[in-house]
Structure 1
Amino acid sequence: MKKWSTKMLVEAGIMIALAVLLSRIKIYQAPQGGSVTAGSMIPILLFSMRWGLKPGIIAGATFGVLKLILGGWVFTPIQAILEYPIAFGFLGLAGIFSNSIKDFSNDKYVKIILSIFFAIGGRFLCHLLAGVIFFAEYAGTQNPWIYSLVYQSSYLVPEFIVSIIILSLIWKPISKIEK
């Protein structure tokens, strides 16, 4: 278990604040919630990749709670918990390979992409389930699973692509920063 240092806590606070700020810059807003932002998940993903799974999950869940407080879509308490602290907590999965991507080399790109895939994939599953369980009426005559899959993909796939590109570009210099 990692010791929670002052440096880690300060970095978590800065990354959460940056994530909240970037989440306010929307490139595309989906009609029933969700949006493509200016890379709002990147600070949490980066923090998770630097500090590991547990700190990343806590930072992601904190970011989710702040998003909920600052204007989340709440229809039921269970839906709010699933789509905010749990979904954004999954961004901490980016820390799954944190010990093996510290020293940068070209083969680390695969682990960076996998880290981002697991993190955003976890968030995607939460929103997919919420779409099927709580928002099936929006599907009309369509299968709610297909409707939710397409709807969640409309904003999370572009976020995934942006996150891969930016984190792949900045990880080499960032990985050299001492913790």
Structure 2
Amino acid sequence: MSRTRLVIMMEIAIMAAIAVILSKVKLFAMPQGGSVSLVMVPIALLAFRRGWVAGVITGGLVGMVKFFFGGEMVHPIQMVLDYPLSYAVLGFGAFLYASKTQSKATKIVSIWGGLLVGIALCLAIRTTSGAVWFGSYAPEGTPATLYSFSYNATYLIPEYVITALVVTLLANGAPQLFQQNAGAYRRT
């Protein structure tokens, strides 16, 4: 195993652990699951630093650990959607993050745009899961899909804004965290 690959694997493990810890510090919690926290910051940071594959692996790992430490499963497919998959897709935001040659404004736009892609995918997955497995919570006369979308958007949109602000501050204040070193998991 190469030294670079080992370093990337260690970064994935460390960022996943930090994300799980940050998920426990909730700024706002929904009554039937979901919360606003900084869980997405380490996933996004690693995705922008090492590429989308490392981001997807980190997110999937975070989702699995969150499930093992208090997740709810009503069906195996629901568990896969709500935990590893919904966190893994956050890593896809790195597709929009280009090279270190970007201007400061372009980097900020690519951070916000990349995180928006990840959050949109996460929202789509959680909306699907909620509509199929938790649609019974919808008020009388409200379509399950609309209720699930509204419920999940209530906490995912604020989490997106907070995550984008924190990652933008980190990109401006500590750009070395975003150095895109070549590595086994970096795909461009």
- TM-score, normalised relative to structure 1: 0.91
1:102 Cα deviation from its structure 2 partner: 2.6
1:101 Cα deviation from its structure 2 partner: 4.1
- Aligned identity (percent) is 31
SS of the counterpart of 1:57? helix
Q: How does 1:16-165 map to 2 (within 5 A)?
A: 16-37=16-37, 39-98=38-97, 100-105=98-103, 106-141=105-140, 142-165=142-165
1:63 Cα deviation from its structure 2 partner: 0.7
1:72 Cα deviation from its structure 2 partner: 0.8
Cα RMSD (Å): 1.6
Q: Specify whether residues 13 and 174 from structure 1 end up closer, same or farther in structure 2 by C-alpha distance, changes over 3 A only.
A: farther
Contact 1:57 1:91 in 2 (8 A): yes
- TM-score, normalised relative to structure 2: 0.87
1:174 Cα deviation from its structure 2 partner: 3.9
Contact 1:19 1:43 in 2 (8 A): yes
User: Matched residues in 1 for 2:90 and 2:174: separation?
Assistant: 19
> Structure 2, unaligned stretches of length 5 or more?
182-188
Work out which structure has the larger RCO, using CA pairs closer than 8 Å and 6 or more positions apart in sequence: 2
Which AA in structure 1 matches 2:116?
F
Which AA in structure 1 matches 2:40?
M
TM superposition outliers: structure 1 runs of 4+ over 4 Å: none
Contact 2:26 2:36 in 1 (8 A): yes
May I ask how many residue pairs the two structures share in their alignment? Answer: 175
1:175 alignment counterpart: 175
1:32 Cα deviation from its structure 2 partner: 1.1
Q: Per-residue CA shift, 1:130-149, capped at 9, x if unaligned?
A: 11111110003111121111
1:153 Cα deviation from its structure 2 partner: 0.9
